[in-house]
Amino acid sequence: MKQFSLVNKVVVVTGAAGLLGRNHVQAIADAGGIPVLIDIDALNMKSVIEEFESKFGIEFSHFVVDITDENQVKVCCENILQKYGHIDGLVNNAANNPKIETNGVNEQSRLENFSINSWQADISVGLTGAFICTKYFGTAIALQGGSIVNISSDLGLIAPDQRLYEKHGLAPGNQPVKPVTYSVVKTGLIGLSRYTATYWAKQGVRCNSLCPGGVENSQDPSFVAKLTSLIPLGRMARQNEYQGSLIFLLSDASTYITGTELVADGGRTAW
Ligand SMILES: NC(=O)c1ccc[n+]([C@@H]2O[C@H](COP(=O)([O-])OP(=O)(O)OC[C@H]3O[C@@H](n4cnc5c(N)ncnc54)[C@H](O)[C@@H]3O)[C@@H](O)[C@H]2O)c1
């Protein structure tokens, strides 16, 4: 199991206070690594840090940073390098992640109505933020080699099935949809992974996309029934079910894997 170890590896996780981010952090710590948490949400960050520090009995480095602000990321990177002297991994995980299935986002999510502001906000976090983090943390990783994982989605590979989000009694033009930006951001990250993987290959930087399927999170049962009927394994993912894939991609267990996608979707894209 030694090749799965992250001992002494400093791994930056963006969106670390979110649903999956905290699971990534836990997995990195369990593998012996040093996770560095980044999130814009100071309140959630505080509760995640309290939980981890009481669980592991050690301090966790964390930064309240807006990844769309280049200067904030630059300063954060300098602070991490000053503290540890190296950065070995990056998980580009932060994104605007609209929970249409629970919040019932209204018809403003539809392509015909989607505002330029919403477009820019989603692209800004999901793509520009990932680029800025790659620029600073990736450059640090390229000094000695390491691994970058971009968190894409099954929806980076297939189009959203908008029938999943249909609400009974609404006219077709008023039905909520998964916004266009989700597909664009998640597909764009796959391109970013390929670019980075080849750009820094000689520097020993590997870069891959992890494409998770939907995660159980108290969604409406009718949504869950519709979605799981599209998944060969017949269920959504559990919240900790991407931890093994992430550690695999970050660690020496995947030293010959770069520029590709690890699809963890219960088989949805095979159907
Ligand atoms: N949850 C799922 O079912 C699922 C499925 C496939 C892929 N994904 C992907 O996994 C990733 C995490 O999803 P999640 O469900 O944990 O989402 P989440 O909304 O729970 O977490 C996202 C985190 O990103 C942070 N964030 C947003 N803007 C930021 C900014 N400008 N700077 C720094 N941090 C910022 C938020 O504060 C939040 O804590 C996303 O990229 C998402 O697209 C999620």
pLDDT for res 107:
76
Res 99 pLDDT > 90: no
Q: Are 132 and 68 in contact (CB under 8 A)?
A: yes
Average pLDDT over residues 196-223: 98
Res 106 pLDDT > 90: no
Ligand 1 neighbour 266 (Cβ under 6 A):
no
Average pLDDT over residues 140-147: 98
Distance CA 218, CA 236 (A): 11
Domain holding 100, by residue range, is 2-262
Ligand 1 neighbour 153 (Cβ under 6 A):
yes
232 domain-assigned: yes
Q: How confident is the model at residue 102 (pLDDT cuts 50, 70, 90)?
A: low
184 domain-assigned: yes
268 domain-assigned: no
On whether the pTM is more than 0.95, the answer is yes
Ligand 1 neighbour 40 (Cβ under 6 A):
yes
69 domain-assigned: yes
Res 103 pLDDT > 90: no
Atom of ligand 1 nearest to the CA of 95: 41
Res 238 pLDDT > 80: yes
Hey, whose CA ends up nearest to atom 32 of ligand 1?
Answer: 66
Q: Are 38 and 65 in contact (CB under 8 A)?
A: yes
pLDDT for res 1:
84
- pLDDT tens digit sequence for 146-163: 999 999 999 999 999 999
User: How many domains, the chain?
Assistant: 1
270 domain-assigned: no
Distance CA 106, CA 102 (A): 12
Distance CA 263, CA 261 (A): 6
Res 104 pLDDT > 60: no
Res 105 pLDDT > 60: no
- pLDDT tens digit sequence for 222-237: 999 999 999 999 999 9
Q: The domain that contains 125 carries what CATH number? A: 3.40.50.720
